[in-house]
Amino acid sequence: MKKISSPSFCIANVIDEIVGYMEQNQGNNKSGIIRKLHESNCLLPYFNKIESDYLEAGENLQSLISKLEQSDEVLGIEKSKMKELYKTFYSSESSFRRDLYKLTPRCCPICDAEWGYATHTLDHILPESIFPQFAILPINLVSTCYRCNHSKNSIVGYSENQGVLNPYFNSVNLLPYLKCYTYIKGDDFITHIQLKNESVVGLDPLKYQRLRFFYEEVYKLNETYSEVARVSVLNSLIDTLSELGNVTNDFIKGYFQSLIMDDKEDLILKGVVTLEFLKVLVLESLQDLEVEAYDLINRMLQERRQMSEVQDIF
């Protein structure tokens, strides 16, 4: 997760648009309370304070939420109405949403999935279902992919060993801490991209616990990367081998070894979990497999070649 630029607009811009809309649409069921709060000079000062506290907490958002009481309303505005305000003023046609999307032009800042393979969404870092006061706060809204947003849902780290990470403030290079484990289950391979054991990563216990919470509990990146490693990397390697004709176990092992690049450290320095990096992890894990695994690969190769021959007939 790389740190990204902060939004170019603030809560005052959002409140200004909301108030302007409510003044022109006084029949709206939220119009009365919004206009009343604005006229009594309660609306903007409250949200300015919320934004200021959020920015002050910055890298340590857990310290902010530890002081907050959960509520079903904000200044008398029901939680459901706050959600409606978000949906209205951060709709797909909203300039606010477009501006936030521009802050992540290439990929999801959480999992590094490139747009085109992943779909844009807006993620409430502090969930609106728990903290409605942050529902429309720009600095709490990050452009992430659908999978990361859906995986996170309303999970939030309250304790010190969990924490809250926001790409506007935090940066995490996961690459030095990832390892692939490949093993046989039935007649297939299972690949797991996991964090290395705490004893070998060189992090203090608190940082390691927070990293594990972010990786496994919040965004479930272990599941995301493991699926990509199995479907997009290992399958591709086996498909390529199937085109080479009959091969021995030694040939397969040598082939995998030949694909391991010398630029792993360069990839780690870039800090982006790419398909290329996952391929390196998978190839490294394949070097540790026993003879039974290479026998299974050979059987899979034969099945692919047989399927190809049948397809050629038809």
Provide mean pLDDT across the span 57-81. Answer: 91
Residue 161 pLDDT > 90:
yes
Query: According to the model, what pLDDT value does residue 311 have?
Result: 54
Given phi > 0 = left and psi -120 to 50 = alpha, else beta, which region is 234?
Answer: alpha
Residue 30 has pLDDT above 80, yes or no: no
Residue 29 pLDDT:
63
Asked if residue 100 has pLDDT above 90, the reply is yes
pLDDT at residue 32 greater than cutoff 60: yes
* 3-state DSSP assignment of residue 272: coil
- What's the pLDDT at 291? 87
- In sequence order, which residues have a C-beta less than 8 Å from that of residue 41 and are 6 or more positions away? none
pLDDT at residue 31, rounded to an integer: 67
Q: In the structure, what pLDDT confidence band is assigned to residue 16 with cuts at 50, 70 and 90?
A: very high
Kindly tell me if the per-residue pLDDT of 243 is higher than 90.
no
What share of the chain has pLDDT > 70, as a percent? 96
Q: Which residue has the higher pLDDT, 148 or 187?
A: 148
Q: Which residues contact 20 (CB under 8 A, 6 or more apart)?
A: none
What's the confidence (pLDDT) of residue 314?
Answer: 46
Nearest residue to 234 via CA among 280, 267, 272: 280
The residue whose two tokens read 């990361």 is: 148
Query: Tokens for 133?
Result: 């006061």
Q: How far apart are CA 241 and CA 304, in angstroms?
A: 10
Alpha carbons 41 and 31: distance in angstroms, whole number:
15
Which of 70-79, 183-192, 211-220, 255-264 bottoms out in mean pLDDT, i.e. has the lowest?
Answer: 255-264
Residue 45 has pLDDT above 90, yes or no: yes
- 3-class DSSP assignment, residue 223: helix
Residue that wins the pLDDT comparison between 97 and 34: 97
- Cα–Cα distance, 173 to 165 (Å, whole number): 13
The stretch 115-138 carries a mean pLDDT of 94
Alpha carbons 39 and 35: distance in angstroms, whole number: 6
pTM of the model: 0.90
Residue 308 has pLDDT above 80, yes or no: no
pLDDT at residue 123 is higher than 90:
yes
Residue 313 predicted with pLDDT over 70: no
DSSP bridge partners of 145:
120
Q: Which residues does 83 contact at the CB level (< 8 Å), separation at least 6?
A: 128, 129, 132, 135
Residue 24: which pLDDT band, with cuts at 50, 70 and 90? confident
**Chain-wide mean pLDDT for the chain?**
91
pLDDT category of residue 264 using cuts at 50, 70 and 90: confident
> Phi, psi (5° rounding) for residue 301?
-65, -45
pLDDT reading at 182 higher than 60:
yes
Model confidence over 48-63: pLDDT tens digits?
A: 999 999 999 999 999 9
Burial label for 89, CB within 10 Å (0-12, 13-18, 19+), is middle
Q: Determine the 3-state secondary structure of 161 from DSSP.
A: coil
* Separation of alpha carbons 171 and 292, rounded Å: 41
Answer with the residue of higher pLDDT: 29 or 127.
Answer: 127
Taking a C-beta distance cutoff of 8 angstroms, is the pair 289, 256 a contact?
A: no
Q: Kindly report the CA angle at 257 between 255 and 259, in degrees rounded to 5?
A: 75
Is the model more confident about 33 or about 191? 191
Which three-class secondary structure state does DSSP give residue 241?
A: helix
| Mean pLDDT in residue range 287-293 | 85
Element (H, E) at 293: helix 291-313
Token pair listed for 70: 């959960």
The pLDDT confidence band at residue 287, using thresholds 50, 70 and 90, is confident
Number of C-alpha atoms within 13 angstroms, CB side, residue 20? 7
Q: Are 118 and 147 in contact (CB under 8 A)?
A: yes
Q: What percent of the chain has pLDDT over 90?
A: 68
Q: How confident is the model at residue 149 (pLDDT cuts 50, 70, 90)?
A: very high
Q: DSSP letter at 2? A: -
